[in-house]
Structure formats: C-alpha cells, structure tokens
Chains A and B, each alone.
Chain A
Amino acid sequence: MGNKQTVFTAQQLDAYQVSSAQVKLYHRYRDLAPQLVPLDYTKEPDVKLPYELIGSMPELKDNPFRQRIAEVFSEDGEGNMTLDDFLDMFSVLSEMAPRDLKAYYAFKIYDFNNDDFICKSDLEKTLNKLTRNELTEDEVRMVCEKVMDEADLDNDGRLSLEDFQHMIIRAPDFISTFHIRI
C-alpha cells in the first residue's frame, strides 16, 4: 500500500481528488501496457495508449459502443487515451457522477458524426448497434420517426443536447445503466 502513494505527488493527488478507486484505475491503466506506462507519475510523463489496448479491456471488449466511448473521452478524438482521459472516462462512468454529466457524455457518444446534434443517421447507427442489425429497414425507420416525435421538443428534426437531457431526466434507470463497474 505504501507503493501506491508514491506514484503521484501530493499536488497531483489533490488535483485528481484521488480516491482509492482512482489509484485502482491507475493500476488498471498500467496493466494494459506495463512497458509503456511508468510507475512514477510525478514527472507527468506524456504517455498515450492506443485505442486497440483500451478497447481490449474486459469491461469494454464486447461493448458495441466502445469505439465511440474511447473517441469521446480521448483528447485527439481517435481513441488514444492518456491517463487523464482514462480517469475522466471511468469517473464519468462511475456511480458517483451526476446525471447531467452522464447525459452530456452519453449525448456525445451517440452523436456519431460529431455535429452536436443527434440526427436521423446517428439514431439509425445507434439502433443498429443496439440490436445488431436485427431490425428491418422499415422498423428502423419507424423507430427513428417515433423517437424524433417523442424527444424532439423544438421540432427541428434532430435532437439537441437539451432535448436529450430532457428525455434522460424522464428515465431514472439511466444512471444505473450508464455505469461501468471497475
């Protein structure tokens, strides 16, 4: 247990508001590539793990949204994550994160073309990922229409962040499902 404390400086501990969970996360990050990630983070090394390693984590390995998750939380938008990005990701996906923060990132994950709106194509892609392309074309179309109908408040044909958050408020399960245990 003494080892873990010398990984970060006191200032870094403060900045991360380190809890035991975050020290655990650091070790998970290191386990992905022990030769790349140094034991001592006090010098703030610039280490970035490629997406392939992140996507091979057992919690994310088979998740259909793993690429989008990695892209949203990575600095470069490609899925290559530094330790900061990694901690960010798991802290948003933890139990403690407030609902609005989760809704914000969920919105970004489902926004496949990164135009800050969930348009029909984003919706279709989400649906196909959810159901593994099991729905027919017709059904996909009907679902997209109905979803737009239900969720689009300002009638512009696509979901903005506000529309999404308004809908998420009505789904109390969201906090427990948008959660990865580490």
Chain B
Amino acid sequence: MARNVNFELHDLRAVLESPVDEDGIHDSFHQLIEEQTLDLSADAEAYELSELEEGEGRDNLGYLASPSSRQQHGEMQEERTEPLMDQQWSTATLRVLSSMPSRTIGRSRGAIISNYYNRTMQLRRRRQSRPSIRDFAPSSRPSIRGYGGVETDAGVDDERKWRQLVINLQNLPVSDRVQMLRCMPLSVDEKREIRRAALEYKGRRSSENQRVPCFSQLKICVIIALRHGWYSWLSLLSFLQLWQIALKKVSGRFGTGVLSYFVFLKTLLLFNFFLSIVTGFFLVLPQAIYPALSYALKFQGLELLTGGGYFTSTVMYYGYYTNSTLKKDCIWQQAISQHSNQTACHSLYYNMPLAYFFTIGFAFFITGIILVYTMSKSFGQSFRIDKSQGVLAMKVFASWDFKVSKKSSIKMQCENISTQIKELLSELALQQNTMGLLQKFGKSCVHLLAWTMCVGSTLACVLAVFYFSDYMHMDQKSRARVNDTANPLVKEAGLLALPVVVSTINLLLPGFFNAVAWMEEYNSPSTSNYVSIFRNLMLKVSVLGVLCYHWLGRIAHDPTSLGLQCWESFVGQELYRFLLMDFIFTMLDTFFGEFLWRLFSQKALKRKRKPVFDIARHVLELIYGQTLAWLGVLFIPVLPIVQIIKLLCMFYMKKASLMMNCQAPRKPWRACQMTTIFITLLCFPSFLGASVFVTYTMWTIKPSESCGPFRGLNSMFQSGKRWVEELEKGNPNLGWLVWAHTYLVENPFFLFVGAGIFLIVIYFHTQVLDGQRKIISLLQEQIKNEGEDKKFLITKLQFIHEQKRPLSSHRIRGASEVKPVSVPLSLCYL
C-alpha cells in the first residue's frame, strides 16, 4: 500500500489544525454538524448549492493522501499527486459531506437506529424460513433509480425507523433480542425506552382479554419472586467471587500480562475443585462411611512429607479401597425352598470397583471436554484469518492497558509503549537494509550453539534422572531381599531423594535456558517467548516421560521384587511426594529468587530495577504441577484436594512476593495469544499425557493381588467388562451392550476409521479458511475502490459548485489562494 505522501503544505497544515489542548477542540466543521442536528428542516436545503452568511470555515479534514496508481478516470491522471487537502470547501459541500451515510453512523441516534433496524431485519430473515421480498434490505450500493429528487425527509424517517426497529425486536426470540440490545451503542435511557416499547407492543397485541385469570396472576407473582431470588443470588455470588480485590490490585499495578498468570491459577483451581468434588462424593465418602479393616500406624510428622506411614491405610490411597460391594447392613433371608433368594430389605448397595472405574473415567472425560471447549473458545478469540500487518496501528490503539491505575505503573506503561513504538519504527527502517550474508551466518551459528546447549543439557538431565531412578530401584530391591530392619520412616525419607533431584532440575535448568537466550538475538520478542516456552516444555515433558516409565515400566511390572504389597499405593505416594517437593521448591525459589535477589540487586549492585516477573516460566510450573495431579488421581483420589491447598498457598505467596519484589515485564506481552497457548499446553501435552498414562494403566497393567478395588482382576478395565457381562446374564436384552463393547471399544479398526474421518473434516475446514482469506483480500480491494469513488465525487461536487458561483474574493482565505483554484479549473472537460 505504498503511496506518495505530499509534504508540501505541511507547515500550513500545522497552522490550520485545531489547538493541541483538549479543551479547544471544536472547530467550524463540528459546529456545522451541531447546527445540522438541531435544525432538521435545514436539511432540505442541504443540497442547495448556496452560500451562508456565517461565512465558510476551514474543513479540518486533515489531508487526503494521494491515491494509488489505480486509473479510474483518465482525466484525473495528472492531478493525482495533488492532495485533496486544505481545500476551501464551500459550506454547501461541507453540508453534503456531513450528511454522507458513513459520517452519520456514529453521530446521530437516527443513524444508529437505522443501522440496527437493518441488522435486526437480517436476523429476522435468518430466523424465518421464507422471508417476504419486501423484507430484503436494499443493496448497500445506492442507486439513483429510486430517487426522484435528492431530498430526504429525515424527521419522519427517524420515527418510522424507530417503530420498525421495535417491531423487529419483539419478533426476535428473547436471546437474540437481549443480544441486540446489548450491542447497541445507545445510552441506557434509549435502551430502556426501546426495551419497554418492545415489551409494551407485545403486551398490547395480546391484551384482548382484559381480565387476567387467577392462574396467570399467580404465575406472575411466582416469576417476580424468582427474579428477586435471582438478584439476591447474584449479589451473594459476587461476594463469593474469589480474589476479586486481589486481582484488581495486581492488574492495577502490573497490567494484564501478569494478571493472566493469576487468572490461569484460578482456572486450575476450578478444575481441581470439580475433580475433588467428583472423586470425593463418589469414592472417598462411601469408603469413609464403610471403613475397611486395616491396621493403623501411629501418626508421625514425617508423613506429611513422604505421604507414607499413617496415610497408607487411609482413604487417601488406592490400596485402602475395597473390591467388594458396600452394603448397608440388613438381614438377608435366604429361602430354603426352590424359590429364588428373597431379601428382606432392598438395601442400598454400592459396587466399589465399578464406582472407582467409572468415576475416574467420567472425571477425565468431563475435564477433557471442558478443556477442549475453553481452548477452542480462546483460540477463536485470538486467531485471525488474514495475515495482514497492522502492528503499529494496533500498538497505538489497542495497547494501552486501561486496567493499570497506579501512577508509577502508568508512567512505566507510557515508557514501555514509547520504547516499543521506537523499536517498531527502527525495525521498519531496518527492513530496508538487508543483512549481510556473514551476519546472517553468524546469527544462525549463535542460534545453533544455543540450541545445542539447551538440548544437550536437557538430555543430560533426563539421563541423570533415568540412572538415578534406576539406582534407587536397585537399592530398594536389594533392601527388600536383605529384609532390612531399619526404621521404615528413614527408608521412606530416603525415597524423597528422587523428587528432590527432579525439582532441583526443574528449578535450575530454566534459569540456564534464560542465560543462554541472552546471547541470542531474535527478530521479535514474541519469538523469544515461544522459544523459551518450547525449551522449558521439552525439559518437563521428557522428565515426566522418564518418570512414567520408571513407575509403570519398572515398579508396576515387577512389584514383588521390591517387597511391595501394593504398588499402586507406592506410586501414589511417589506422586504425592513429587507434588509436595514441587511446592516446597517453588516456595524456596520465591523466597531466594525474588526476595533475596531484590535485596541483593538493590543493596549490593545498586540497581534501581527490581527483578521482572517471568510469566511464562511460572505458568509452565503451574502446568507441570497440574499434570502431576492428573497423573495421580487414579492412585490418590484425594490428590485434587492437596492440589487445591497447594494452589491457594501459591496464590497468596506469589501475590505477596510480586507486590514486594517484582516489576512488570518491559517487553510487550500479548495476553490473549499467550493465554490461548497456555490453555493449549494444558490440554495437549499435559492432559493428554495424563489421560494416556491413566488409560494405559487401566488397560494393560495388572493390579495388585492384595489391595485396592481391582484386586484379583487381570486389568482394571476388566471390572467394567465383567459388569457388562453380568448385566447380560441378568437381562439378555442387553446383549447389544456386550457386542458394542467388543466391536467398537476394543476394536482398533473402529478407532482408525474415526480418526480418518476427523482428519478429513479438519482438511475441509482449512480449505474453507483459505477461501475466506481470498474473500477478505477481494473486499479490501473493493473498499479501496469505493474510497476512490468518494474522492472523485467530492472533487466533482466542489468543481460544479465553483462553476456555478462567480469567483468572489472572500471565498478564498488564507495562504493557499492560488493552488486550489488551479485544481478544478484543469478539470475542464465539462
């Protein structure tokens, strides 16, 4: 879109423009608009090309840059470069300009109403199956066909349009009506009137029966009571809204970017809350009411850290759950005769294994659906089809964060924005310079080196975890063989070693990655963000992968060699330990990394700047913690509650540390896009990995013989199969269920077909997107052409006006006497 910009009359423009201070912003054009709105009858004269006594003011149109090289009319060729700026527009032309439909959209109430009348009409058309031809709105391009004269009766039109809008509104379904009213840019008064009129009209139509029967009066009372109840519930809900004030303080001081971390934490809290309710209600509660027989160990303090000891024989772990059906005590009377068993009471019974299986499955299924829905909604908001660049415009108009209210933060925001604008300008200037080949080569070498270092360190850490876990495994095996009589608690404390190692790696390596990233140079700050997120993700995924292999491949494979009665409880304890260690290390990191570092940098290094809150790293830590929670739900139904407590503590800790020690990030942070990425990361590597782990465990691995709800079965999945078979035995009509189970759920062919169809649908959608992109570019071309039309018509109008009136001296004002006259006169083909 390169255009020639004319700087000739730059100085003149500076003189002519309105004063800089925000009070004196009204100029004659604006006054013209005002008087036009007040005096509707004057519109009839709008198109009369006559002069007004007030004289003619200058039009603050700014300048109309010279158009692109599209040739629309040959006559205008030579004068293309002459901008249509600072012309002496006559009052009449100004009147015409001010009545143009595009000008009036935002200005007058009548225009808004007419606009929304059209919209409601379209909506009605869409809702009805067969619209009448009269309902079709006239095409957007005005044709002269329907117009006899050029006068419009603006006053009558307004009222009619208002009434028609009301009629349209009441014919729409309630949700559409509400939506339409919400969108209208009118004041609350206007909306209230329209809403009242819409309801009134409706009421008037059905007011044939004057007498309201008793029943509907009761109905009305009930509805009003419900509505009052709803309002009081809403006010209670706002009282319960978690952390409203805290989030406001954070956003007021640090802006939307840092706020997104806390909002993400709140989302995770809701997920865990849901999970804990489901498992608590269906698993923990029944088992707690009917406690299984177990030997109780004494409670010692270390259990909170290791998760073992006293906790092993509580509801906390998988091993505690019984594999029988919980029955309420009642007397069974078995008939001795040939008749079927008669039960004296039809008691409540609760099939624990089945409940366990289905609860976990159901919880994961619902969490998956909620995640995918959130992800797609967030994606829809942030993904844009057309790849046009409008970076600077967006920076100017969409980057000011209105949430920030603290004075120092606002000052910092202004500085950040001006820095970013300067950077963008220099980037644009640099784009013209091409980088030398040597420079490019040097840059790619540095990138290669950085990547090698990161991947190498990740690999080294993963191998370290692998061998260390192997060592622990061997150590435990040998101890089990020797039948070690050491204090079991000490033994369990020794098991804390692996979590400590993993947490240390998770703490130190991201810092190393950041250091490596310093020496690299990226084209844009978002690229560096993505690269650092990817590296951190790679590290965490590989560490978790090795751990999963350790648990499932080593421990579950051969539990007896370790002397374990119940490998599931052991794995559950491991996960608990990992979660806890993660929390403890985060606490230490917050204390040392932020608090002490700030003291150090301010006192010792004498720097004024506080450490920056690294949003990406903290969110990835949250995702890692949540993955552990999801991995462990199968083995510890109580784990979501532990995770909730952990998240609550983290919120307050991070907030306190933030307020005391940190400052907002200086680089621009695209909150919307980043939130989408984080939710995607939560869904794909994190949730998907956890569900694959759980599914694999349920499907393939043999549960322990002596503990848990699935003891004695070949796999956890078998409990569901058995139940289906039992159902079939009891009721032969349900044979199709078994059939469905064998051929659909267990058959891989069906899954392949399903996946294939899915991929085809995705392919079609991408093609549709491509088509839409093409349409967008065509429409942009069309808009440009319309702009050309408009300019042409304006100049032609002015020219005609000039021709009709004699040249008078007071038409010309200011320094630009000669030039504007030359433009119309050269168009002398008329």
B770 to chain A, nearest CB (A): 18
A47 to chain B, nearest CB (A): 14
Q: Which of B61-69, B305-313, B448-456 contacts A (4 or more CB under 8 A)?
A: B61-69
Query: Can you list, as one digit per residue, whether each of A53-78 has a CB less than 8 Å from chain B (1) or not (0)?
Result: 00000111111110110000001000
Is A134 touching B397 in the complex (CB atoms < 8 A)?
Answer: no
Is B182 touching A19 in the complex (CB atoms < 8 A)?
Answer: no
Q: Which of B183-191, B332-340, B707-715, B798-806 contacts A (4 or more CB under 8 A)?
A: B183-191
Q: What CA separation (Å) do A68 and B400 show in the bound complex?
A: 14
Check: A151 CB closer than 8 A to any chain B CB: yes
Check: B780 CB closer than 8 A to any chain A CB: yes
Is B393 touching A151 in the complex (CB atoms < 8 A)?
Answer: yes
Is B33 touching A115 in the complex (CB atoms < 8 A)?
Answer: yes
Please name all residues of chain A whose beta carbon is closer than 8 Å to the beta carbon of B396 when the two chains form the complex: 123, 126-127, 130, 143, 147
Is A15 touching B22 in the complex (CB atoms < 8 A)?
Answer: no
Check: B672 CB closer than 8 A to any chain A CB: yes
Q: Which of A5, A130, A180 is close to B418, meaning CB atoms less than 8 Å apart?
A: A130
Given contacts A84-B187, A113-B60, A155-B784, contact A167 B397 (CB under 8 A): yes
Q: What CA separation (Å) do A181 and B247 show in the bound complex?
A: 9
Most buried by A among B18, B30, B384: B18
Please name all residues of chain A whose beta carbon is closer than 8 Å to the beta carbon of B3 when the two chains form the complex: 149, 155
Please name all residues of chain B whose beta carbon is closer than 8 Å to the beta carbon of A75 when the two chains form the complex: 187
Q: Which of B230-238, B519-527, B580-588, B641-649 contacts A (4 or more CB under 8 A)?
A: B230-238
Query: Can you list, as one digit per residue, whether each of B643-682 has a CB less than 8 Å from chain A (1) or not (0)?
Result: 0000000000000000000000000001111000000000
Is B418 touching A177 in the complex (CB atoms < 8 A)?
Answer: no
Is B381 touching A155 in the complex (CB atoms < 8 A)?
Answer: no
Check: B791 CB closer than 8 A to any chain A CB: yes
Q: Which of B18, B65, B182, B189 is close to A148, meaning CB atoms less than 8 Å apart?
A: B65
Q: CB-nearest residue of chain A relative to B68?
A: A155
Number of B interface residues in the complex (CB < 8 A):
99
Please name all residues of chain B whose beta carbon is closer than 8 Å to the beta carbon of A167 when the two chains form the complex: 390, 393-394, 397
B215 to chain A, nearest CB (A): 21
Check: B75 CB closer than 8 A to any chain A CB: no
Check: B103 CB closer than 8 A to any chain A CB: yes
Check: A34 CB closer than 8 A to any chain B CB: no
Q: Which of A107, A156, A168 is close to B787, meaning CB atoms less than 8 Å apart?
A: A156
Is B107 touching A172 in the complex (CB atoms < 8 A)?
Answer: no
Please name all residues of chain B whose beta carbon is closer than 8 Å to the beta carbon of A125 when the two chains form the complex: 20, 22
Given contacts A4-B235, A18-B231, A155-B67, contact A131 B421 (CB under 8 A): yes
Q: What CA separation (Å) do A146 and B224 show in the bound complex?
A: 56
Is B671 touching A173 in the complex (CB atoms < 8 A)?
Answer: yes
Q: CB-nearest residue of chain B relative to A164?
A: B397
Secondary structure dominating the interface of A:
helix
Check: B85 CB closer than 8 A to any chain A CB: yes
Q: What CA separation (Å) do A157 and B642 show in the bound complex?
A: 60
Please name all residues of chain A whose beta carbon is closer than 8 Å to the beta carbon of B417 when the two chains form the complex: 130-131
Cβ < 8 Å to A, chain B residues 1-22: 1, 3, 5, 17-18, 20, 22
Instruction: State which size class the interface on A falls in.
Output: 35 or more
Given contacts A130-B418, A149-B3, contact A119 B381 (CB under 8 A): no
Is B61 touching A160 in the complex (CB atoms < 8 A)?
Answer: no
Most buried by B among A100, A125, A151, A173: A173
Check: A13 CB closer than 8 A to any chain B CB: yes
Is A175 touching B415 in the complex (CB atoms < 8 A)?
Answer: no
Is A157 touching B392 in the complex (CB atoms < 8 A)?
Answer: no
Cβ < 8 Å to A, chain B residues 386-427: 386, 388-394, 396-403, 405-407, 410-411, 414-415, 417-418, 421-422, 425
The 10 A-B pairs with the shortest beta carbon distances in the complex, nearest first, are A154-B787, A119-B62, A131-B418, A20-B238, A171-B398, A157-B64, A20-B235, A172-B672, A172-B382, A174-B398
Beyond contacts A23-B235, A130-B400, A160-B102: 10 other A-B pairs, Cβ-Cβ < 8 A, are A63-B405, A113-B18, A114-B26, A146-B425, A148-B65, A153-B784, A154-B790, A155-B784, A158-B64, A181-B251
Query: Can you show 28 pairs from A to B with CB atoms below 8 A apart?
Result: A1-B232, A61-B405, A63-B405, A85-B188, A88-B187, A113-B25, A115-B30, A117-B62, A120-B63, A127-B421, A143-B421, A146-B428, A150-B390, A153-B780, A153-B787, A155-B791, A157-B61, A157-B65, A158-B62, A161-B106, A168-B397, A173-B398, A173-B672, A176-B672, A178-B398, A178-B402, A181-B248, A181-B252
Q: Which residues of A contact B (CB under 8 A)?
A: 1, 4-5, 10, 13, 15-16, 18-21, 23-24, 58-65, 67-68, 75, 84-85, 87-88, 93, 97-98, 100-101, 104-108, 110, 112-117, 119-121, 123, 125-128, 130-132, 134-135, 139, 142-143, 145-158, 160-162, 164, 167-181
Q: Which residues of B contact A (CB under 8 A)?
A: 1, 3, 5, 17-18, 20, 22, 25-27, 29-30, 33, 60-65, 67-68, 83-85, 102-107, 182-185, 187-189, 192, 195-196, 224, 228, 231-232, 234-238, 247-248, 251-252, 256, 381-384, 386, 388-394, 396-403, 405-407, 410-411, 414-415, 417-418, 421-422, 425, 428, 670-673, 780, 783-784, 786-788, 790-791
